[in-house]
Structure 1
Amino acid sequence: MTNRIISALLFTSLSMTLWAADTPAPAVVVDQVKRVEVSSGFQTVGRVEATERVDILARVSGFLEKQSFVEGSDVTQGSELFLIEKDSYQIALQQAQAQLAGAQATQKNARTELTRAQALKKRNAVSQAQLDQKAAEYDQAKASVLQAQAGVKRAQLDLSYTQVTSPIAGRIGKANFSTGNLVTPSSGVLATVVNLDPIYVEISVSEKLLIDARRQGINTENPPFAPRLILADGSQYEHLGEFNFVDPEVDPNTDTIGVRATFPNPAHVLLPGQFVTVKIETKQPQFALTVPQSSVQKDREGFFVLAVDRNNIAQIRRVDVGEQFEGLWAIKSGLDQGDRIIVEGLQKAKPGKPVSPTQE
C-alpha cells in the first residue's frame, strides 16, 4: 500500500514538472528606453494686443467729402483716409495772407517813418518824444506782422487737417461716419488703425510662479526662456516670440505680474483681443531618458519597471522618476538608453521568469 502511494506521488510530481516545462512563456509587449528632447517650462493663457492702435479723429469741423480707404484693408503711414471740405479753410488762409500783407506794408511804412525821424533828430528838427513815438509805431507794426504770420500758419494748419491721414501703418477698421456727414473734433472716432505685425501677447504670471520665473530668466535681458503659442484649434504657432516687458510691480488685487512678449505676425494670424495658450520653454533643447507612463509601477519601496534582459527574463528595475509629459515619464536614474521594458502584459510577467517579448 505504501509503495502504491509513493508511486502515485512520484507520478504526479513528474507530470507537473513536464507540464510546467511545456507551458509557454507569457507574451508581453516591450519598448526601449529612449533619449528624447523635452521642454522645461509652463503654460498659461495670454491675450493678443496690437503693438500700435490709433483712433482717427477729426481736428477741424466740416462735411466729409471723401472716404479714401476700403474698410478692413491695410493702409500705409501718411496715406489719406478722409477728406473734409476745404473751401472755408482756403478762404480763411487767403484772409490770413491778406492780413499778413497789410501788416508787412504797415511795418515797411513805420520803418521808413522811423528812419526819417532819426535823421531829423540829428538836426534837432524833431523832439525826442516824436522820435520815441515813431519807434513805438515801428515796434507795434513788427508785432502785427508776427501776429499775422501766426494767423497764416494757423490757417495753413487747419487747411492741412481737412486731409485726414493715418499716423501709422496697419489695418484699418470700420468707418464710423460716411461721406456727407458733418464731423467736428468732438464727433468721436472716425475709424481705428491697428498695427498687426509685429504683435504683442500679454500674460499674467501667478504669485506661485513669480519667484521661479524670475530665477529662470523671465525678463527682457537675454532670457533663457522663450514663449511659443498654441492657437485655439490646437495647432502650434510657427513663429517664436521674445519677451520685451516685465511689469516692475505685482498687482495687489490678483497677486500676479504682467509679462509681455512680441511675436512676428506677417500673415495676420493673430488678431488683437483673441486668447492663446502661451508655452514658456527653454531656448536650448534639453534631453532626458523616457519611458511610457504605462510601464511605471509603484510599491512600498518606490517606483519600478519590469525590464527584459538578453535571455528574455523579466527583472525588477528600481527607477528615480522625473516629470511627466505627453504620455511619457522622464527617468533620472535606474535605466539606460536602449533597455527593454514591458509596457503591456505586466500582470502576466513574473520577476525572474521568462517572457515572450514583442517590440511595440
Structure 2
Amino acid sequence: MKKQTTIFALGALLLTTIYSCSDNKAAVQQQAPQAVPVKAVQVQKQHISAIDEYAATVIPLNEVEIRPQISGYITQIFVKDGQQVKKGQKLYEVDRTKYVAAKEQAEANVAIAESNLARIKKDVERYERLIEQDAIAAQQLDYAKADLLSAQSQLTAAKAQLNSAETDLRYSTLTAPFAGTIGISNVRLGAQVSPGQPLLNTISSDDPILVNFTANEKEIPRFNRLMNAENNPDSLFTIQLGDGSIYPMPGELTIMDRAIGGQTGTIRLRVEFPNPNRDLVPGMSVSLRVINQDYGQQIVIPYKAVTEQMGEYFVYVVQNDNTVRQQKLKLGSLLGSNVAVRSGLEPGQKIVYEGIQKLRQGASVSAEIVSPK
C-alpha cells in the first residue's frame, strides 16, 4: 500500500513538471517577436540625368526699331516682309529730292565761303607788306584782319550746314544696322513720315539667340557654379519646344542679372543658343531644361520605400541580424516612380520596399529581396 502511494505521488509530480514546461514554452513562444514578412531591394547606383524645368522666353541678341529721322514720303521699300537681311542692306527710302538740293546748296555755300576767305587772306598779306612801307594806314590792316576772322567763321558755318545736309541725305536711306530678320512693314509706298514717327519696322538678329528665365534666389549659388565651371555636361541647358520636341542644340549660361527682384525674390538669367535654322523665334515661350546635381552615377531607390516624418525622410535598412533600422536620407530629384538619393545610403544596403506600415525601429523581418517594378 505504501509502495502504491509513492508511485502515485511520483506520477503526479512528473505530470506537474510536464505541464509546467509546456506552459513555459507557450509563454516563451507568445513573448518572442514574430518576424514581419517584407519585400526589400538592394541599393545600387545607376546613370541618371535629372532635369529641372523653367518657363522661359526666347529673345534676340540684338533688336532695333526702324524709325525715320527726317520728314517726307516713303518712295522705296527695298525688302520683303520677314526677309533676312545683311548688315548695311537698304531697307527704306524717304523722298530725297529736297535733301539732295539742300546738300548741293550747302556745297555751293562752302565754296563761296572758301573763295571769300582766300581773297581776304591775300588782302591781309598785301596790307601787311604795305604797312611795313608806311604806304597805308594801320586802321586799314585792322579792318582786313577783322574781315578775315569773319570769313573764317562764315566758312565754319557753311561746313556745318553741309554736314547737316549730308546727314539728312544719308538719313533718307534707312539701312540694316546688323544682319538679321526684318518683320512685317508698318508702312507702304507713299506713306508720310516725320522724325521718329511712325515705326516703320523692327529687325532682330537670328543667330545666336537668347533664352530668358527666372530662378529663385536660393538657386543663385548653383547657377554661379555652373557659370564658372569648366567641365559642365555638354547638354547642361536644353529646350523643350511647345510641341514637346527637344531642340537639338544645347545652350550656355551667359548672364545673371545684377540684382534680385525686390517683389518676386527671383533673379533673371540668360542662356545663349545657336540658331542657324531659325527654329527659335523671338517671343516664343519654351521650357528651359537644366541638368541638376543628380547627374551621372547616383543611388536611385523606389520612392515608395521612403517615409516622411516632420519634413525629414527615412528608409528602413535591413541589418545582418534581420532587424530593421531607420536611416535618414537627403533626397534628390524624382525620376518617375523612383527618387535620387544624395546622401544617407551606400550601394549594397538592403531597404524595405513593401510592408513598411508594419515596421518600427528594431523590428525583426523576414525579407524577400525583389527587383522594384
- Distance, in Å, in 2 between the alignment partners of 1:358 and 1:38 is 18
Does structure 2 retain, via aligned residues, the 8 Å contact 1:219–1:244? no
Q: Distance in 2 between matches of 1:353 and 1:222?
A: 44
Letter in 2 for 1:287: Q
Assess if the C-alpha contact under 8 Å between 1:201 and 1:260 holds in 2: yes
Cα distance in 1 for partners of 2:121, 2:372 equals 107
Displacement of 1:35 in angstroms is: 3.1
Larger deviation, residues 264-273 vs 326-335: 326-335
Matched pairs, number: 320
Displacement of 1:135: 1.0
- 1:303 and 2:315 aligned: yes
- Sort the Cα spacing of 1:149 and 1:302 in 2 relative to 1 into closer, same or farther, 3 A: closer
Tell me which residue corresponds to 2:80: 70
Counterpart residue number, 2:334? 325
- Tell me the TM-score normalized by structure 1: 0.75
Give the equivalent residue in structure 1 for 2:220.
Answer: 213
* Structure 2 alignment gaps of length 5 or more: 1-38, 358-364
1:149 aligns with 2:159: yes
2:210 counterpart residue number: 200
- In 1, the alpha carbon distance for the partners of 2:122 and 2:345 equals 106
Q: TM-score, normalised by structure 2?
A: 0.72
Query: Whose Rg is larger?
Result: 2
3-state SS of 2:200 partner: strand
Aligned-residue offset at 1:279: 2.6
Contact 1:216–1:224 (CA<8 Å) still a contact in 2? no
Residue pair 2:48, 2:294 contacting (<8 A) in 1 also: no
Instruction: Report how far residue 181 of structure 1 moved.
Output: 1.2
Match of 1:106 in 2: 116
CA drift of 1:200 comes to 1.8
Distance 1:325 1:333 in 2: 16
Q: Which runs of 5+ in 1 are unaligned?
A: 1-28, 307-313
Map 1:152-301 onto structure 2 (within 5 A). Answer: 152-206=162-216, 210-214=217-221, 217=224, 220-222=227-229, 226-282=236-292, 285-293=295-303, 296=305
Partner of residue 55, structure 1: 65
* 36-45 or 244-253, larger mean C-alpha shift: 36-45
Q: CA RMSD in A?
A: 3.8
> What is the CA–CA distance in structure 2 between the aligned matches of 1:153 and 1:345, rounded to whole Å?
89
* Structure 2 counterpart of 1:88, from 69, 91, 98: 98
Give the Cα–Cα distance (whole angstroms) in 2 for the partners of residues 193 and 265 of structure 1: 16
Q: CA 1:326–1:283 in 2, change beyond 3 Å: closer, same or farther?
A: closer
8 Å contact kept, 1:64–1:182? yes
Q: Which moved more, 1:235-244 or 1:278-287?
A: 278-287
Identity between Structure 1 and Structure 2 (%): 25
